[in-house]
Amino acid sequence: MAGISVGFLGMGYYVPEKVLTNFDLEKMVDTSNEWIVERTGIRERHIAAPDQATSDLGLIAAQRALEDAHLSADDIDLIVVASESPDMKFPSVACMLQDKLNASHAAAFDLGAGCTGFVYACGIASQTIASGLYKHVLVVGAETLSRILNWQDRNTCIIFGDGAGAAVLGPVEDGYGILSVDLGAKGAGGKFLSMPAGGSRRPATHETVDNKEHFIHMNGSEVFKFAVRVMGHSTLNGLKKAGLTKKDIGLLVPHQANIRIIASAAKRLSLPEDKIMVNLDKYANTSAASVPIALCQARDQGRLYKGENVVMVGFGAGLTYGSLVVKWHKTEEAKV
Ligand code: UT7
CA of 291 to the centre of ligand 1 (A): 22
- Inform me whether the pLDDT recorded for 336 exceeds 80: no
pLDDT at position 261, please?
Answer: 97
Q: Catalytic site residue 233?
A: no
Report strand pairing: 193-194 vs 137-143: unpaired
Q: Is any ligand 1 atom within 6 A of the Cβ of residue 92?
A: no
Tell me what pLDDT residue 335 has. Answer: 81
Whether the per-residue pLDDT at 297 is higher than 80: the answer is yes
- pLDDT tens for each residue of 80-131: 999 999 999 999 999 999 999 999 999 999 999 999 999 999 999 999 999 9
**Number of other residues whose CB lies within 10 A of the CB of residue 38:** 11
Contact between 292 and 166 (Cβ < 8 Å): yes
What is the DSSP-derived secondary structure letter of residue 67?
Answer: H
40 pLDDT above the threshold of 80: yes
Predicted confidence band of residue 334 (pLDDT cuts 50, 70, 90): confident
Confidence category of residue 301, pLDDT binned at 50, 70, 90: very high
Structure confidence at residue 214 (pLDDT): 98
Cβ distance 4 to 137 under 8 Å? Answer: no
Per-residue confidence at 139, pLDDT binned at 50, 70, 90? very high
Q: Is 258 among the residues known to form the active site?
A: no
Average pLDDT over the chain reads: 97
- Distance from the alpha carbon of residue 231 to the mean position of ligand 1, in angstroms: 19
Residue 333 has pLDDT above 90, yes or no: no
Is ligand 1 within 6 A of the CB of residue 217?
A: no
What number is the average pLDDT over the span 172-196?
97
Contact 163, 286 (CB under 8 A): yes
Read off the pLDDT of residues 244-263 as tens digits, 9 standing for 90 and up.
999 999 999 999 999 999 99
Query: pLDDT tens across 2-24, in order?
Result: 789 999 999 999 999 999 999 99
Q: Is 255 a catalytic residue?
A: yes
Report pLDDT digits (tens) over 142-167: 999 999 999 999 999 999 999 999 99
**Over 80: is that where the pLDDT of 204 sits?**
yes
DSSP reduced 3-state for 244: coil
More confident residue, 22 or 1: 22
CA distance 178 to 8: 9
Domains of the chain and CATH, by start:
6-175 (3.40.47.10), 178-327 (3.40.47.10)
167, 8 contact by CB (below 8 A): yes
What is the residue with the minimal CA distance to atom 17 of ligand 1?
220
For residue 332, pLDDT over 90 is answered with no
Q: Are 92 and 55 in contact (CB under 8 A)?
A: no
Check pLDDT > 90 for residue 1: no
How much is the pLDDT for 262?
97
- Yes or no: say if 280 and 257 are a contact pair by the CB < 8 Å rule: yes
Q: Which of these is catalytic: 22, 237, 258, 285?
A: 285
Q: In what order do the strands lie in the sheet with 163-171?
A: 6-14, 163-171, 137-143, 78-82, 107-111
Integer Cα distance of 140 and 137 in angstroms: 10
Using H for helix, E for strand and C for coil, what is the string for 259-305?
A: HHHHHHHHHHCCCCHHHECCCHHHHCECHHHHHHHHHHHHHHCCCCC
The contacts of residue 225 (CB under 8 Å, 6+ apart) are none
Q: What's the average model confidence in pLDDT over 305-330?
A: 97
